[in-house]
Structure 1
Amino acid sequence: MTTINDSFPTIDHARRRFTFEHLVPTSVCLAGQGAGGADIDIRISYQTHVFSRRHEGGSAAFTLRDEAGLLRQFCEERYENSLTLPDICRRMVEDNYLTWQSLDKNKASNLAVSGPVLISGLNDLVVYYLFPSRSDQHNVELVVKSAYQKDIDFNHIKRKYNVRQLVKKVHFQQIRVP
């Protein structure tokens, strides 16, 4: 799915108001990294899974529909983590973090953690995909599907890439990754 969310509606839940201005799409430029020294402009956008979790049926929690139309449950913990997500994703590209692919329920995703060093243990995980942009202002779209904490053993992840390597692959080959 290649959804670019420009905004999310405000959520009133548990006597609190949750807004999403922090999750408006942002841009990152890889200066001089394109063909003939041109820039590669990347738009970073987010999906509802960065502030929601699987619906647990019958729960009193605020529910919403995700990009596939499936029922999700608003998660205050994920929402709080999403407040720092734009900065993490910008640094992920600018500082060329390590990334890897993973299969989950027969779907492949790119994964990265919130820092440039891979340390086994509990990590803030970013799940994303990349594809060529149809926008005149951008070359590549980086869509964050989800973000949550997960215990990761990096000794079991053999094949790692750099984020810029994948961005360039998308840009030059005009393919989606994964």
Structure 2
Amino acid sequence: MRPHRTLFAALLILVGAAAILLLPVPRAWRDVTHIVNEVTIAQPDAVVFDYVSTPASWPDWHPSSLAVAGAADHPLVPGEQVTETFLVAGRRGKVVWTVVERSRPSVWMIQGTIDGREAGTVRYTLAPTPQGTRFRRDFSYAAPNLLFALTNRLLLRKRIEAESTEAVTRLRAVLEARKPAAGTGG
């Protein structure tokens, strides 16, 4: 085989491999990541719910949340949207969150899009306990292509898990530093 044919064959293999890594993954084969964190917060469930479902508070407790714009000053209801500027695992961007589920004070869920593409969901589940509120945060996101799936498994997931763990730890600290709401028994 002549050298230019060998080079051409190698180039075709590289282009083919790159195309496979970057092609969208069929929905049935998508690699979905779930990052779940739970913490008990010494505050009533309604207090915790109202705080976490008010996007203006996110930068106060979530290390990845840099700023929030839009209707961010109240607990959001289904259909309401906000735009969040984030820094997740070293990647900076903007995500538009839409509230898709709300059952105060136990469940709140948002779906995100980045540049019109699915970016994941965040679901908060709250339950009263004798110590206050059991708060569960489930962040789910799908790999849009094989390259992202590999990068996520090798690098991103661990960083995102660490940021999520720090977030719920900060959330507990911020809320427990507040005075108990009137009528909650202190």
Quickly name the TM-score band, shorter chain normalised.
Answer: under 0.3
TM-score by length of 2: 0.24
- Greater percentage in helix: 2
Please say which structure displays the higher CA radius of gyration.
2
Point out which structure has higher relative CO (alpha carbons under 8 A, 6+ apart). 2
